[in-house]
């Protein structure tokens, strides 16, 4: 089996994991894996359990459709991440926790040490732009910076895995980050009751969120 065919299977596997783990509902969200100059990505508006290898869309790094089903509407977001970072896999979720926080805060602070899985002490919230647009892709790229995760204003979350791993570990890594985002978000107090306090231990050197 060549790498592209393996990537299709990974897209199917982790798309269905998103569904069963409650990170998406229906056909929302999307998963992609990069193989060289090509990207395997979930097809748009197809229920995850119905996706077969021949229905996984193949696009180039500019988003041009090469084979398979119709690419996800968020293909511009995925391909920009691939062009501008070392990503080997990208996951976009619509989990209730990520979406709720993306509607209420401008930045997710260090409420849990697992936040460092995203490459820093915070996770930023991108500016709001219409789904599927080039403007949304640009806003996500700007908010990502050198991090591996970002919340999308009034929308959801995006994470990516590095190229310094084989395709399968990169896919697992990206999916794990999406789950980590959900776990971290569960730790937050109710919106409107948030106050910030500096963690006293110097080794942490990050903000901690506490209920007022």
Cα separations in angstroms, 125 against 62, 105, 156: 25, 8, 10
Q: How far apart are CA 18 and CA 106, in angstroms?
A: 25
The helix (H) or strand (E) run that includes residue 158 is strand 156-162
Read out DSSP for 134-180? HHHHHHHHHHHTT-SEEEETTTEEEEEEESSS-HHHHHHHHHHHHHH
List the structure tokens of 59. Answer: 């696009």
Pairing of strands 38-41, 57-60: antiparallel
Catalytic machinery residues: 74
Cα separations in angstroms, 3 against 7, 20, 30, 39: 6, 26, 20, 11
Q: Copy the structure tokens of residue 104.
A: 């209420």
What are the φ and ψ backbone dihedral angles of 6, each rounded to 5 degrees? -65, -40
Give me 154's structure tokens: 């009034």
Rounded Cα distance between 42 and 48, Å, is 8
Distance CA(128)–CA(204), nearest Å, equals 31
């Amino acid at each position: 089996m060549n790498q592209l065919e393996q990537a299709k299977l990974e897209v199917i596997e982790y798309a269905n994991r998103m569904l069963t783990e409650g990170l998406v509902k229906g056909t929302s969200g999307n998963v992609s894996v990069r193989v060289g100059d090509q990207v395997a990505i979930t097809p748009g508006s197809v229920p995850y359990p119905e996706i077969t290898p021949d229905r996984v869309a193949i696009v180039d790094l500019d988003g041009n459709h090469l084979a398979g089903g119709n690419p996800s509407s968020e293909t511009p977001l995925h391909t920009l991440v691939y062009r501008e970072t070392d990503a080997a896999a990208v996951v976009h979720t619509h989990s209730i926790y990520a979406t709720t926080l993306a509607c209420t805060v401008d930045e997710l602070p260090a409420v849990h040490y697992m936040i460092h899985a995203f490459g820093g002490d915070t996770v930023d919230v991108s500016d709001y732009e219409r789904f599927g647009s080039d403007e949304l892709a640009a806003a996500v790229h700007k908010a990502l910076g050198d991090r591996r995760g970002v919340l999308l204003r009034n929308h959801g979350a995006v994470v990516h895995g590095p190229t310094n791993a084989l395709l399968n570990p990169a896919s697992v890594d990206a999916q794990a980050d999406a789950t980590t985002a959900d776990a971290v978000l569960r730790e937050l107090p109710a919106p409107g009751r948030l106050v910030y306090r500096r963690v006293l231990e110097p080794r942490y050197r990050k903000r901690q969120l506490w209920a007022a």
